[in-house]
Amino acid sequence: MTPDPPATGDVLGQLAAMRVIPVVVLDDSAAAAPLAGALAGAGLRCAEVTLRTPAGADAIGIMAREQDLLVGAGTVLDPGQAEHAVEAGARFIVSPGLDEEVIRRCRELSVLALPGAATATEIQRARRAGLRAVKFFPAETLGGVRALDAVSAPFPDLRFIPTGGISPPNLQPYLAHGAVLAVGGSWMVPRQLIAGQDWAQISRLAREAARLAAESGPPPRIPPPAAMGGPAERERPAPRERSQAS
């Protein structure tokens, strides 16, 4: 196992400090610049721009020019997409599932990989690959906070970023969970508001999301990667608070 380079840890720490990561789907890259300004101005200084549409790659490049915004690529399905996203300016790579080839390429590029994981087997594979955090996806479909309680318990040295079905009514139980660094969501950047160029409403939703994130308190500490195959692997991991929702 090869630990992540220091630069990826810095990005993970920044995402954890923000606590809420907007997940953006853009149909037209012309919307990227005003959207970046709306998010940064509202205090949500990060975004996962998905590659679900042809506009995604160009949008990453445009939004990455906003100096107050930490931009990553989402829906990355293979190493080539990861490489192109990083060339465009992405500083973290998010995948719907776990792909060791994508993780390996991200490590070569010194960029943070956040693969999706839904089962203990996938989480264990991510840990074996040296990751310190994974995307728990699709969170609500999998059973929400109670499912996260169960699947995270055997992995006290990993942290999670639940994504999928999260919105203000169910946000706080996730952020209160001792294994959760941040959550991903699209409720503050709905596709129809972006298409309608309603930047005022997006700014309002983003400000509210930033307020809820701030009220949630600090994230749990990010532990170092577990050392595999020796005594260090058995060292006690960093403690984390018990979930208030469990």
pTM: 0.90
DSSP state letters, 78-136: SHHHHHHHHHHT-SEEEESS--HHHHHHHHHTT-EEEEEE-SHHHHHHHHHTT-SEEEE
Q: What is the pLDDT of residue 223?
A: 87
pLDDT score of 17 more than 90: yes
Q: Which of 25-34, 96-105, 235-244 has the lowest mean pLDDT?
A: 235-244
Q: What is the pLDDT of residue 231?
A: 41
Residue 41 in tokens:
């101005």
What class is the 6-217 domain? alpha beta
**Mean pLDDT of the 62-68 span:** 94
Let me know if 135 is a catalytic residue.
yes
Give the percent of the chain with pLDDT over 90: 86
More confident site: 24 or 246 = 24
**Mean pLDDT of the 45-65 span:** 97
Instruction: Pick the catalytic residue from 135, 215, 233, 235.
Output: 135
User: Can you tell me the distance from the alpha carbon of 142 to that of 152, in angstroms, rounded to the nearest whole number?
Assistant: 13
pLDDT score of 243 more than 70: no
Residue 231 — φ and ψ, nearest 5°? Answer: -60, -30
Q: Are 53 and 30 in contact (CB under 8 A)?
A: no
Q: What is the pLDDT of residue 187?
A: 98
Average pLDDT, rounded, for the chain = 92
Angle formed at CA 17 by CA 40 and CA 113, multiple of 5 degrees: 90
Q: Are 112 and 3 in contact (CB under 8 A)?
A: no
Let me know if 108 is a catalytic residue.
no
Q: What is the pLDDT of residues 182-215, one digit of tens each?
A: 999 999 999 999 999 999 999 999 999 999 999 9
User: Can you tell me the distance from the alpha carbon of 96 to that of 115, in angstroms, rounded to the nearest whole number?
Assistant: 6
User: Can you tell me the distance from the alpha carbon of 176 to that of 162, in angstroms, rounded to the nearest whole number?
Assistant: 12
